[in-house]
Amino acid sequence: MVKAKSNDFLAHFRRRDPIMARAIERVGPFTLKPTRDRFAMLVRSIISQQISTSAARSILARVTTLMGDNGIQPLTLQKLSAEQLRAAGVSPQKIGYLKDLAEKVSSGAVRLDRIGRRADEQVIEELTQVKGIGRWTAQMFLIFSLGRPDVFPHDDLGVRAAIKRLYGLDEMPDKQTSLAIGSRWTPYSSVASWYCWRVLELDPKPKPTTAGQA
């Protein structure tokens, strides 16, 4: 994902943000690798909204089975009926989102084959044409599919919860506080965000899911 070596970004955080540097040392190596199947990732992101990880995984498995050997493809998804998707556990609202995604990718309104050539904000602008895809989902795409190194999803509940815990805040950080802390992370904001999620996994207290945002 991130072209810089771990020693490079660790040196950066030791210099700019010792708190994050200690979290990185505690969690261990950065192991995130971009997901190559861009369309499937967006389908997964839509299905995962506002439900638990386990429920999303089960629904995605059933939808994948419906699509057959070719996997999750726009044309295959378009051929599935609303009744089939509903039987697989997809809500009526999300069925509309998935159909809109498949239509826009098939028509070329969203060019997933070329989207990697665009700047971060251009990617967000293109993806948010799709119903059900907001800025947060587009940011997850930038991090987990395109491997962009400097994306800071400041309104992500998991990132905010980790900031609260790591930096000893009394309350969940608002946008201004999150941006002030995140400004120390550039040009490795994606790395720091990934470590925020891992911190919550290492120390499992009641934690919010990142799956409820568009």
Confidence of residue 5 (pLDDT cuts 50, 70, 90): low
The Cα–Cα gap between 63 and 28 comes to 35
Query: Are 99 and 133 a contacting pair, CB within 8 Å?
Result: no
Tokens of 37: 């199947």
Of residues 69, 100, 156, 203, which has the active-site annotation? 156
Q: What is the pLDDT of residues 59-99, one digit of tens each?
A: 999 999 999 988 899 999 999 999 999 999 999 999 999 99
Query: Are 119 and 138 a contacting pair, CB within 8 Å?
Result: no
CATH superfamily of 38-144: Hypothetical protein; domain 2 (1.10.340.30)
The Cα–Cα gap between 154 and 158 comes to 10
Indicate the domain borders of the chain. Answer: 6-33+151-202, 38-144
50 or 23: which leads in pLDDT: 23
How close are the terminal C-alpha atoms of the chain, in Å?
23
pLDDT of 50 reads 86
- What angle separates helix 92-107 from helix 38-48, to the nearest 10 degrees? 160
Active-site residue, 113 included: no
Tokens of 211: 């799956």
* Mean pLDDT computed over every residue of the chain: 92
Q: What is the pLDDT of residues 128-152, one digit of tens each?
A: 999 999 999 999 999 999 999 999 9
Model pTM? 0.87
H, E, C per residue of 157-178: HHHHHHHHHHCCCCCCCCHHHH
CATH of 6-33+151-202, picked from 3.40.50.300, 1.10.390.10, 1.10.3720.10, 1.10.1670.40, is: 1.10.1670.40
